[in-house]
């Protein structure tokens, strides 16, 4: 590899070699990871000495390599933990400014000595300390590469690897989330969502939910937009994500934004010159339904009933409008199957019932159910009866 770099000293050759090694660094076999780490250290040394190298210029593979190697600082035998840490230190020597490299390298070298232990918690704590140092010099524009690589380790079958990957992920989002570019957020959300769907174990799922919350604290709007674009708005994983956000301190502002989005979607739908069926697409109808699914999950777990009551003057006409619009299109198209048990406006009616359950006394809710208000609202030919019952 050193000979190849001498023959072709440009950064493209180094990046190609990193991609080849990536498979072995993410291997489930410790011996393969050990050999790949040895090669990585030699490769980086050769690249550092190459005539194309310029100090202070971050390696294009920095994010990917940190995501792969970070969890290895506490997952493999002591010698390999130290090799991974040494490699991370050399990465900093290439990318960090000269005046900070010496201090950072000294700190990492000191922490590297602490990795010579079998105590799991001590290893993880030292690994997190290394992550904190690396994050101080993390280059902008490489967040997606890092998150994609560390997510691979998060899904690893080895418990220590998954724990370490989760802690590196949370440390990165805690330290560097303000530096993440807006255009990087959708891909990061997709990575986290895919990771959640790929695992049924509690450890990685817990890390993903906390990571999404950290990301949303600094990038609320793009995170919401990305989640609303998922094609399965009611699958269990998406429900878990929305409920996790709803239970957090972000629950109230998120509900406000979802209410605004639902109102804007309704105004856009009503103001359109042609309906979704004329366009031959269900996209116009999909957006309000997706927003309503998210809104229902947030309302169901929100700790503050006062906020729901305050938003009722906006939520009530929005949801009723969506029911009426959906039923009107259904009657015009006449595509509903005879005797179907799932009226087209049921989703919006259920959301309305959920919202009112947080605003009204139980006796009024019992009266509405007894009079059949919800069933009437969802039926095209009885809709006006339901509206009158609700108004009364």
DSSP E strands: which ranges in the chain? none
Domains in the chain (CATH in brackets) are: 2-229 (1.25.10), 251-332+344-391 (no CATH)
Task: Quote the DSSP letter at residue 380.
Answer: T
Task: Check pLDDT > 50 for residue 274.
Answer: no
Pick the residue with more confidence: 28 or 180? 180
Task: Check pLDDT > 50 for residue 224.
Answer: yes
Name the 3-class secondary structure at 74.
Answer: coil
What is the per-residue pLDDT for 268? Answer: 75
* Mean pLDDT within 340-349: 73
Task: Check pLDDT > 80 for residue 4.
Answer: no
Q: How confident is the model at residue 272 (pLDDT cuts 50, 70, 90)?
A: low
Residue 292 · residue 319 · CB < 8 Å? yes
pLDDT tens string 120-138: 888 889 999 999 989 988 8
CA 372 to each of CA 51, 355, 369: distance values in angstroms, whole numbers, following the listed order: 79, 17, 5
Task: Check pLDDT > 60 for residue 232.
Answer: no
d(CA 365, CA 353): 9
d(CA 33, CA 21): 9
Pick the residue with more confidence: 355 or 62? 355
Joined tokens for residue 284: 């116009």
Residue 102 · residue 92 · CB < 8 Å? no
Joined tokens for residue 58: 């971050």
* Mean pLDDT within 162-170: 93
What is the per-residue pLDDT for 231? Answer: 61
CA 247 to each of CA 213, 253, 297, 301, 367: distance values in angstroms, whole numbers, following the listed order: 10, 12, 10, 6, 30
What is the per-residue pLDDT for 233? Answer: 54
- The continuous run of DSSP H or E covering 250 comes out as none
- State the chain's mean pLDDT as an integer: 83
What is the per-residue pLDDT for 343? Answer: 63
Task: Check pLDDT > 50 for residue 52.
Answer: no
What is the per-residue pLDDT for 42? Answer: 78
Length of the chain: 392
Pick the residue with more confidence: 247 or 331? 247
* Mean pLDDT within 307-333: 84
d(CA 251, CA 248): 5
Task: Check pLDDT > 90 for residue 326.
Answer: no
Q: Most confidently modeled of 74-88, 104-118, 154-168, 225-239? A: 154-168
pLDDT tens string 372-385: 999 899 888 888 99
* Mean pLDDT within 312-340: 74
* Mean pLDDT within 3-23: 76
Q: How confident is the model at residue 147 (pLDDT cuts 50, 70, 90)?
A: very high
């Amino acid at each position: 590899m050193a000979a190849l770099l001498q023959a072709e000293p440009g950064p493209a050759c180094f990046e190609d070699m990193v991609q080849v090694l990536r498979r072995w660094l993410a291997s489930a076999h410790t011996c393969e990871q050990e050999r790949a780490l040895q090669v990585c250290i030699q490769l980086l040394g050769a690249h550092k000495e190459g005539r194309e190298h310029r100090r202070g210029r971050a390696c294009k593979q920095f994010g990917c390599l940190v995501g792969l190697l970070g969890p290895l600082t506490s997952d493999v035998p002591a010698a390999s933990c130290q090799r991974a840490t040494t490699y991370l230190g050399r990465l900093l020597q290439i990318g960090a400014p000269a005046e900070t490299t010496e201090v950072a390298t000294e700190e990492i070298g000191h922490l590297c000595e602490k990795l010579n232990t079998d105590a799991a918690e001590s290893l993880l704590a030292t690994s997190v300390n290394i992550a904190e140092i690396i994050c101080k010099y993390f280059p902008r524009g490489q967040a997606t590469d890092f998150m994609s690589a560390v997510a691979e380790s998060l899904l690893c079958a080895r418990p220590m690897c998954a724990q370490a990957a989760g802690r590196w992920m949370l440390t990165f989002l805690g330290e560097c989330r303000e530096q993440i570019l807006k255009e990087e957020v959708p891909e990061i959300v997709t990575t986290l969502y895919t990771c959640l769907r790929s695992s049924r174990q509690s450890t990685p799922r817990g890390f993903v939910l906390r990571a999404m919350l950290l990301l949303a604290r600094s990038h609320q709007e793009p995170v919401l937009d990305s989640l609303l674009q998922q094609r399965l708005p009611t699958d269990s994983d998406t429900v878990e994500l929305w409920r996790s956000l709803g239970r957090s301190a972000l629950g109230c502002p998120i509900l406000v934004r979802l209410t605004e989005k639902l109102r804007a979607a309704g105004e856009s739908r009503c103001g359109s010159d042609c309906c979704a069926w004329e366009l031959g697409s269900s996209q116009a109808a999909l957006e309000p339904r997706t927003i309503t699914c998210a809104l229902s999950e947030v309302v169901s777990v929100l700790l503050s009933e006062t906020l729901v009551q305050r938003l009722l003057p906006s939520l009530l006409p929005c949801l009723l409008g969506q029911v009426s619009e959906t039923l009107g299109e259904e009657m015009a198209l006449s595509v509903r199957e005879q005797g179907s048990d799932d009226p087209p406006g049921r989703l919006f009616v259920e959301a309305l019932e959920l919202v009112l359950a947080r605003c009204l006394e139980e006796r009024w809710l019992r009266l509405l159910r007894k009079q059949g208000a919800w069933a009437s609202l969802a039926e095209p030919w009885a809709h006006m009866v339901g509206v009158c019952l609700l108004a009364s």
